[in-house]
Amino acid sequence: MMPNAVHPASAFAAVLVVATAFAGQADHAAPAPVSGGRSTLPLGPIGMRIAAASPGDTLEIDPGIYREHLRIDKPLTIVARGDVVIDGGGSGDIVEIVAPDVTLRGFVIRNTGIDLDKENAAVRVLAPRVALENNRLEDILFGIDLREAPDCRIVGNRIGGKDLDVARRGDGLRLWRSDRTLVERNTIHDGRDAILWYSSNVVVRGNHGFDCRYGLHLMFSDHITILDNEFAGNSVGIYLMYTTGVELVGNTLVGNRGPSGYGIGLKETDQFSIRDNLIAGNRSGVYIDGSPFTAAKPGEFTRNTFAYNDVGCTFLPSARGNEFTENNFVDNIDQVAVAGRGALDANRFWKGERGNFWSDYTGYDLNNDGVGDFVHESQTLFENLMDKRPALRLFLFSPAQQAVEFVGRAIPAVRPEAKFTDEVPLMRPVALPAAVVERKPAREAIALSGIALVGVGGLLIAAARTSRRTS
Amino acid sequence: MSYMIHIEHVTKRFGRAAAVDDATLDLGAGESLALWGANGAGKTTLIRCVLGLLGFRGTIRVGGHDVRRDGKAARLLIGYVPQELGFYDDLTVCEAVAFFSRLKGLPHTDTDRTLATVGLLGHERKRIRELSGGMKQRLALAIALLGDPPVLVLDEVTASLDAVGREEFVNLLAGLSGTGRTLLFASHRIEEVAALSGRVAVLEAGRITRVVPCADFVAETDRGTVLHLFLAPSVRDQAMQSLRVGGFSPHLNGVGILVPVTPERKAAPFRLLAEARIPVDDFEIVSATHARRVAHVPHSASSSPGGNAVPHLAATEVSS
Amino acid sequence: MTSLPTAVTSSPNASAAVRVPPGLLRNVLTVAHRELRDAIRSRWFWLYTLSFAILGLAVSFVSAAGTGGTGLSGFGRTTAGLINLVLLVVPLMALTSGAASIASDRERGMLAYVLAQPVSRLEVVLGKYLGLAGALLACLSLGLGTCALILAWKGLRTSPASILWLTGLSLLLALAMLSLGMLISVLARRASVAVGTAIFVWLALVFLTDLALMAGALALRLRIETLFGLSLVNPLQVFKMWSLHAVDATLDVLGPAGLYAMDTFGDRVAILFAAALVAWIILPLGAAMALFARRSPV
């Protein structure tokens, strides 16, 4: 395949970008060639009904377990009535759709082969305008694999990968040159990635991905809308690469702590707007590398909450032109970090009258206008040392760390330069999107453990008070 | 092995100085022996060796048990009364008795009877810090008597008591002699030795110089009077000098100067010191006769001007 | 003045000669009970318990305030704050009470008196250790338990499992520090010297060794495995790492060194931590017992 001119602004850069992409992402090279047809196999019950049907027909399939591989070669609507299981018997693909305007609804499709070279998939789509709705894909290598299949609808499916080592897993969802596809309310777990290749104007909305490598991965896919998804416990929540035009709004990215461990990673991504997301408990909430890629539009980070990440936001030296306004930075161990020896000069943490909320802001607000009276300057000595020597993170949470911080505050000579400043820090956090529901851990459990502990103490005291005159 | 306490060639060194130097002693069952000597002569050290509190060279057996190899069994036979009871201050008398009877492995203790023995009945609920010095020592004695051990070891048990307390305590102890209990005690008070011991081992700089029957020992020391003068430390050397010039043989002890005098020259030292303008804060007349009186009349309530310390030197060098 | 009995009627019990001294366990328990009771009656015990509960609550409320009303839970942030608190308070408490134990008994003449009874030195040391350990456990569980109860009452979030883990691991840390304190106590001649030494050791463990390691990491560019290995020597670091691992099931929050540990040992890293802490409990206590058996207690 020929590399597309992803970034027309710079042909040279495009070549470089693609080269890099291939070097680093060998496992994401062009899809394996599709094996030609399955005419040699005997048809199963569903296969025979497909063979007998006319284009435009609706087939309703009775409950049961069907051990067959399907090839849908005419526009049909195929609906499961009740529990219909199509079992691939652990070999090859299971459903292949080669005709446009096919709808497949309500099936359990399970047990593909595990051949990573042939990319065994539960459902492979090779034609436009296909709708896959409310299917459950289990024990599969690849889940839904769209190849040059634009204008599809992937809605309400549940896709669970095989219990394999990450290196041997396939993608739960893959779009290859499938523009204008809708990916909505799917649940994807235990897969490699949910990935978009060269697919533009795709909407990804309300999906839930967990225990994958990348919850959502964009490669060279432009004008993507990513709304109200939740990616938790993946290696990376959302990784944007070589992508222009992204609206990333209202997503929840929690506890993505794999080897990279980003809530959102941006690599040479351009013209993006990241708003109203909850980014918490990741190793690094946001990781910015070479983004925005051009000066066309500043990278926009607005009303996001960065909470309890090891690092709220990591900037590589190549990160320039990002603007952070009205975000909440809450108790990230390191609120903002610069990897390597870069500086944050080229990024801004306030604009006009709008700064951010910093949980470590020490100033106050005498005139009650909601904006701190002092500039927020991030300059803790330990953070500074930690940015230089990440190994020092070993001493986090220890009194020695606080001793270092104290020295940094007390002795101006060793006080590091401010990493960044926010001239108009907010006194109160910006409200979280309504989607974030407070989850209370059982109060009773805490009370019980408290009672248990007090009980132990009480028993000991009682034991001490019992006189042991005689035995 | 008929000896209850067997001490053989015991040497204990602190650094290069020998606190006990090649001591050998035997006590038969029911025998009572006093260790006699000045402060630092090695009495307490020898007692601590017997209790297994210190390491030493030589052998000590109590009731046949080697105190080092079989210390618990040896100490089970010993009731020990220290110079001063040092124990958890806020423990009640009752609790202290209970604690030690558990340590001694007694199945149950008749606390009342134990306390009655030493006249502490009615004080069970008092905390140790509320007891007087004499009551503390009596508690220590009660604890020592728990389980009726065949051996009692006493280490200058009256040293921290006043004259009345001392006499009471010695009376109490005297009541214990002749009951078949073996008694080993350290003292530098002639009246105690006279009242309690059958034999006296004299210690000098860690060595046992001689072991004599008590009667002989008391008789030996009953020939003179010793004047115990209390002076400010700053003037002691000057006072020693004046007394030597005046023909006396004074000795320093911890709190004053001991001057052996003949009965007719008891006032001479005062005159000498007055002439030298050395103030005397207080004085006592120490008489060995008194000690014997205590021994023979144990219930005497008369006050006794007993000396604070009579080193054996004073006792043996005094001329009558 | 109490009237004295005219004669003491008791006579030595012949059966005493054949009586067997009480066994090790019984004596250890007797001494331990005495020690525990004494500790619980003392002011330091309640002072530590109270300050532990108050500081614990303060930490919890401050970390809750840090969320600034976002309604987000702290992902164990409270636990992290409590870990820090434990690191400061528990070693101080355990080291000083251990250091004071034998040295002050010796100073008061109590040690010689107790050892003159039919007990062995081993029993006395073990009993004192056990008693003080009980007092420390009571202090920790009362302090953290009260803290948990008030948190539950106020509806603040923290995971119950992490509080229990923290209490358990704090106890292990306390046992290790108590061991070290008793070793100091056996070595020191005077109680004041023992407590002074204990405070210095506390300073060294809390600040100096970590700061030295940090300086080493910066100046000598220590390798990650060296840094991790060295940090295992400090029981406080071990406690901290184990707590994080117990609560988070991973150490990656500690950066490259934590990742190295997880890559190399996986979940067996907890065994490593346990071994390190147990060594810190057994070795100083063993040394204390060996020295105590040899040195004069008076």
Residue A199 belongs to some domain of the structure: yes
Given an 8 Å threshold on Cβ–Cβ distance, is B98 in contact with A467? yes
Nearest to C16 among B54, B116, B148 (CB): B148
pLDDT tops 60 at residue B226: yes
Q: What are phi and psi of B246, to 5 degrees?
A: -80, 0
Both tokens of A145, joined, read 């694999």
> Residue A45 is which amino acid?
P
Tell me the CB-side half-sphere exposure of residue C129, using CA atoms within 13 A: 26
Domain extent for C200? 24-294
Please, which residues have CB within 8 angstroms of residue C233's CB and are 6 or more apart in sequence? C209, C276
Q: DSSP letter string over chain C? A: -PPPPS-------GGGGTPPPPPHHHHHHHHHHHHHHHHHHSHHHHHHHHHHHHHHHHHHHHHHHHTTT-----TTHHHHHHHHHHHHHHHHHHHHHHHHHHHHHHHTTHHHHHHTSS--HHHHHHHHHHHHHHHHHHHHHHHHHHHHHHHHHHT----HHHHHHHHHHHHHHHHHHHHHHHHHHHH-SSHHHHHHHHHHHHHIIIIIHHHHHHHHHHHT---HHHHHHHHTTSHHHHHHHHHHHHHHS--GGGHHHHHHHHHHHGGGHHHHHHHHHHHHHHHHHHHHHHHHHHS---
Residue A409 belongs to some domain of the structure: no
Q: How many domains does chain A contain in total?
A: 1
Q: Looking at residue B243, what is its pLDDT?
A: 85
Helix (H) or strand (E) holding A465: helix A443-465
User: How many other CB atoms are found less than 10 A from the CB of residue C30?
Assistant: 26
**How many angstroms separate the CA atoms of A206 and A156, rounded?**
9
**How many angstroms separate the CA atoms of C40 and C48, rounded?**
11
Q: Looking at residue C182, what is its pLDDT?
A: 96
CB B123 within 8 A of CB B115: yes
Closest by Cα among B256, B225, B226 to B239: B256
Given an 8 Å threshold on Cβ–Cβ distance, is A467 in contact with B108? no
Which three-class secondary structure state does DSSP give residue A359? Answer: coil
Span B83-137, pLDDT tens digits: 888 888 888 999 899 999 999 988 777 788 888 888 888 888 999 999 988 899 9
Quickly list H helices, A25-125.
45-52
Q: What is the DSSP letter of B248?
A: -
Please, which residues have CB within 8 angstroms of residue B267's CB and are 6 or more apart in sequence? none
Tell me if the bond preceding B213 is cis, omega within 30° of 0.
no
Beta strands in chain B (DSSP E): 3-14, 17-28, 32-36, 57-62, 65-66, 78-81, 151-155, 182-187, 199-204, 207-213, 225-230, 251-252, 256-261, 282-287
Nearest to C108 among B86, B148, B168 (CB): B86
Span C169-192, pLDDT tens digits: 999 999 999 999 999 999 998 999
Given an 8 Å threshold on Cβ–Cβ distance, is B107 in contact with A467? no
Residue A410 belongs to some domain of the structure: no
**How many angstroms separate the CA atoms of A41 and A73, rounded?**
15
Chain B residues whose CB is inside 8 A of the C120 CB are 71-72
Task: List the single range of C54-63, C69-78, C89-98 with lowest mean pLDDT.
Answer: C69-78
Residue A120 belongs to some domain of the structure: yes
Chain C residues whose CB is inside 8 A of the A461 CB are 40, 138
> Which is more confident, A101 or C85?
A101
Residue C5 belongs to some domain of the structure: no
Q: Looking at residue A208, what is its pLDDT?
A: 96
Residues 296-315 of B with CB under 8 A from C: 299
> Residue A4 is which amino acid?
N
Chain A residues whose CB is inside 8 A of the B88 CB are none
Residues 250-279 of B with CB under 8 A from C: none
Residue with tokens 């320039």: A320
> Residue A215 is which amino acid?
G
Query: Measured between alpha carbons, how far is residue C132 from residues A401, C42, C97 in Å?
Result: 30, 12, 8
Q: What is the DSSP letter of A171?
A: -
Residue C1 belongs to some domain of the structure: no
Q: Looking at residue A236, what is its pLDDT?
A: 96
Q: What are phi and psi of A418, to 5 degrees?
A: -60, 135
Span B159-173, pLDDT tens digits: 878 878 888 888 888
**How many angstroms separate the CA atoms of A43 and A39, rounded?**
8
Chain A residues whose CB is inside 8 A of the C250 CB are 257
β-bridge mates for residue B92, sequence order: B127
Residue A162 belongs to some domain of the structure: yes
Quick one: closest CA in A to B91, which residue?
Answer: A467
CB B125 within 8 A of CB B96: no
Quick one: closest CA in A to B108, which residue?
Answer: A470
Quick one: closest CA in B to C14, which residue?
Answer: B150
Neighbour subunits, C (≥3 Cβ pairs < 8 A): A, B
Quick one: closest CA in C to B13, which residue?
Answer: C296
Neighbour subunits, A (≥3 Cβ pairs < 8 A): B, C
Q: How many domains does chain C contain in total?
A: 1
Q: Buried (b) or exposed (e) across B29-38, using 16+ Cβ within 10 A?
A: bbbbbbbbbb
Residue C40 belongs to some domain of the structure: yes
**How many angstroms separate the CA atoms of B29 and B22, rounded?**
23
Closest by Cα among A93, A99, A87 to A46: A87
Chain A residues whose CB is inside 8 A of the C254 CB are 393-394, 396
Chain B residues whose CB is inside 8 A of the A469 CB are 94, 98, 101, 108-109, 111
Domain extent for A307? 11-403
For A87-93, the CB contacts below 8 A with 24+ separation are A87/A111, A88/A112, A88/A113, A88/A120, A88/A122, A90/A114, A91/A120, A92/A35, A92/A118, A92/A120, A93/A69, A93/A120, A93/A121, A93/A122, A93/A124
Q: How far C78 CA lies from chain A's nearest CA (Å)?
A: 11
Quick one: closest CA in B to A465, which residue?
Answer: B95
CB C243 within 8 A of CB C79: yes
Residue with tokens 């028993």: A459
Q: Looking at residue C57, what is its pLDDT?
A: 86
β-bridge mates for residue A274, sequence order: A248, A301
Domains belonging to chain B, first-starting first, are 3-219 (3.40.50.300), 225-317 (3.30.70)
Helix (H) or strand (E) holding A108: strand A108-110
Given an 8 Å threshold on Cβ–Cβ distance, is B172 in contact with C8? yes
Residues 450-469 of A with CB under 8 A from B: 467-469
Most A CBs within 10 Å: which of C27, C42, C48, C72, as the mutation test of the A interface?
C72
CB B25 within 8 A of CB B301: no
Residue C43 belongs to some domain of the structure: yes
pLDDT tops 90 at residue B268: no
Residue C171 belongs to some domain of the structure: yes
> Which is more confident, B278 or A147?
A147
Both tokens of C49, joined, read 């318990």
Given an 8 Å threshold on Cβ–Cβ distance, is B95 in contact with A467? yes
How far, in whole angstroms, is CA B141 from its chain's centroid?
A: 14
pLDDT tops 80 at residue B305: no
Regions in chain A scoring below 70 on pLDDT: 1-30, 33-41, 341-342, 432-442, 467-471
Q: Looking at residue B224, what is its pLDDT?
A: 64
Please, which residues have CB within 8 angstroms of residue A467's CB and are 6 or more apart in sequence? B95, B98
Residue C197 belongs to some domain of the structure: yes
Given an 8 Å threshold on Cβ–Cβ distance, is B175 in contact with C2? no
Residue with tokens 């490593």: C272
The CATH number linked to A272 is: 2.160.20.10
Residue A185 belongs to some domain of the structure: yes
B·C CB contacts under 8 A: 137
**How many angstroms separate the CA atoms of A49 and A51, rounded?**
5
* B5-30 average pLDDT score: 92
Q: DSSP letter string over A189-258? A: ESSSEEEEES--S-EEES-EEESSSEEEEEES--SEEEES-EEESSSEEEEEES-EEEEEES-EEE---S
CB A313 within 8 A of CB A280: no
Q: Looking at residue A441, what is its pLDDT?
A: 57
β-bridge mates for residue B203, sequence order: B208
β-bridge mates for residue A182, sequence order: A153, A203
Chain C residues whose CB is inside 8 A of the A392 CB are 214, 217-218, 255
Span C255-273, pLDDT tens digits: 889 889 998 998 899 999 9
Q: DSSP letter string over B146-187? A: TT--SEEEEESTTTTS-HHHHHHHHHHHHHHTTSS-EEEEEE
* C212-228 average pLDDT score: 89
Please, which residues have CB within 8 angstroms of residue C152's CB and are 6 or more apart in sequence? A443, A444, A446, A447, A450
Chain B residues whose CB is inside 8 A of the C117 CB are 75, 80, 100, 103-104
Given an 8 Å threshold on Cβ–Cβ distance, is A471 in contact with B107? yes
Chain C residues at the B interface, defined by Cβ less than 8 Å, are 1-14, 16-17, 19-22, 26-27, 30-31, 34, 38, 41, 108-110, 112-120, 294, 296-298
A·C CB contacts under 8 A: 213
Task: List the single range of A21-30, A68-77, B26-35, B246-255 with lowest mean pLDDT.
Answer: A21-30
Give the confidence band of B222 by pLDDT, cuts at 50, 70, 90.
low
Tallying the residues shown for chain A, one arrives at: 471
Given an 8 Å threshold on Cβ–Cβ distance, is C115 in contact with B53? yes
CA angle A246, A248, A254 (to 5 degrees): 140
pTM of the model: 0.77
Average pLDDT, chain B: 81
Residue C182 belongs to some domain of the structure: yes
Residue C4 belongs to some domain of the structure: no
Quickly list H helices, B212-305.
214-221, 236-245, 268-275, 288-296
Rounded percentage of chain C residues whose pLDDT exceeds 90: 55
Tallying the residues shown for chain C, one arrives at: 298
CB of B145 within 8 Å of a chain C CB? The answer is: yes
